[in-house]
Structure 1
Amino acid sequence: MTEFNNLVAIVTGGASGIGEATAALLVERGARVAVLDRSVANIPESQFGVVCDITDAAQVDAAVGAVIDHFGGLDIVINNAGIGASGDIAANDDDEWHRVLDVNVVGLARVSRAALPHLRRSEHAAIVNTCSVVAVVGVPNRALYSASKGAVASVTLAMAADHVAEGIRVNAVTPGTADTPWVGRLLGEADDAEAAAAALRARQPMGRLVTASEVAQAIVYLASPLSSSTTGTLLAVDGGMAGVRVPTS
């Protein structure tokens, strides 16, 4: 499939995990891909890397400008960059709340804001945000992270309404617990990593973690010109976590 031929896509946080898998799949489908990340030293030669901290508006504006200068336009934005947080509502101080929201929510806004003038000139404009199942399902010890991803879900729907008349589609994926570097770090910090991993697998009805490539497939589906009637959608890729209940015995 090459439905992305000559389309230009930005993937934030595209140097690892879900973003890396998404960037690779977009290239495979014919897109010209720019990866925005804090380090782009190890991205493939088939991708255009731009160092960018999405908490810095000037860096974001410069990075989007560099993509336009390099490719001559922009059609697709994948707002994937994000950070995690653990603990209940009392576990994180104000600074940590500001840090996580600055990356996961305001960072998305900065990139989208910088991209909008260019997306308005595209015939296939699409934004896809990486959300999470915790936006719609209560999970223990994820209060701050859930708050940030709940905001991503809400802003996705608001953006879809704001820009539908301009021909810009806005959607999001809501992955379950995925086999990513962040989850790996969480397991590495656990007292019993094997038991913690088993618990993560067990809370998803399919009995395993979601893979980065599975989430990438959903992101690319939403970004595709073949999905031109899909906007304002939160697409679950969660092993059934949000919608399926199975007997425990």
Structure 2
Amino acid sequence: MDGKVVVITGASGALGSVVAQTAFSHGARIACIDHAASQSPPTAGRIELGGIDLTDAAQANKAIDAATAHFGRLDALINIAGGFAFEAVADGDAKTWQRMYALNVLTALNASQAALPHLAASPAGRIVNIGAMGALQAGPGMGPYAASKAGVHRLTEALAAEWKGKVTVNAVLPSTIDTPANRASMPQADFGKWVTPEELANVILFLASDAASAVTGALLPVSGRV
């Protein structure tokens, strides 16, 4: 990743922060986009663009353009921004489905549409999305989330087909990620079987690297030790 310019959405979250730090430690120049307010001043190799609502296409375009202008190019977009909700279908609320679609699909769509012209100008443009193993077969309470992540899978495949030869587009499909929030919500689980953010970050950054030049349209399971 040395010298690559990478935009990471959802960069202040449990996974996003690890991906950002790992990319930076491997020599990438990174732009961290998040809904949360920015806390750090820009440096030569890192900028933070806070207060960005990626469900709004205009804000997504503004943020991506600002990142590209700052570094002079864009090589990879990693779409981590998203959300989770657990709700049964029968007694659930349609607003939950709309919120999951907005947070998981629209954020990736808007950021990708904004980034594609810049990525196509790179000799190795990359998009990496975050899907979910749980979207392959939804269990109880997983309907809204799984449906939205299935949308991310189809978005990945469509973009990969449309931009083949110009930009690679792939998605990782993690099982449960070992985060403080997941530990708190499932205290009886065997955390040792979960995927760590560091493990997932390594797979994401492989797909964003030159080494993955022949991989596009892949939905790559990252299932830990389940």
What TM-score does the superposition give when structure 2 sets the normalisation length?
Answer: 0.92
Residue identity matched to 1:7:
K
Residue identity matched to 2:207:
L
Aligned to 1:179: 178
How has the CA–CA distance of structure 1 residues 197 and 128 changed in structure 2, closer, same or farther, with 3 Å as cutoff? same
**Identity in percent:** 37
Equivalence map 1:62-81=2 (5 Å): 62-81=62-81
Quote the Cα distance in structure 1 between the aligned partners of 2:138 and 2:82. 19
CA drift of 1:43 comes to 5.7
Query: Retained in 1: the 8 A contact 2:38–2:49?
Result: no
Aligned to 2:23: 26
Quote the Cα distance in structure 1 between the aligned partners of 2:3 and 2:143. 41
Query: Retained in 1: the 8 A contact 2:194–2:225?
Result: no
Structure 1 runs of 4+ off > 6 angstroms?
Answer: none
Quote the Cα distance in structure 2 between the aligned partners of 1:5 and 1:240. 30
Query: Retained in 2: the 8 A contact 1:92–1:144?
Result: no
Residue identity matched to 1:214:
E
How has the CA–CA distance of structure 1 residues 147 and 221 changed in structure 2, closer, same or farther, with 3 Å as cutoff? same
Quote the Cα distance in structure 1 between the aligned partners of 2:118 and 2:82. 23
Equivalence map 1:197-236=2 (5 Å): 197-199=187-189, 201=190, 208-236=193-221
How many residues align? The count is 223
Quote the Cα distance in structure 2 between the aligned partners of 1:8 and 1:79. 14
Equivalence map 1:10-25=2 (5 Å): 10-25=7-22
Aligned to 1:191: none
Q: Where in structure 1 are there 5+ consecutive unaligned residues?
A: 188-195, 242-249
CA drift of 1:7 comes to 1.4
Aligned to 1:7: 4
Larger mean CA deviation between 53-62 and 88-97 belongs to: 88-97
- How big is each residue's C-alpha offset from its partner over 1:133-164, in whole Å with a ceiling of 9 and x where there is no partner? 11213333211101011111111111111111
Q: Where in structure 2 are there 5+ consecutive unaligned residues?
A: none
Residue identity matched to 1:38:
H
Mark the structure with the bigger radius of gyration.
Answer: 1
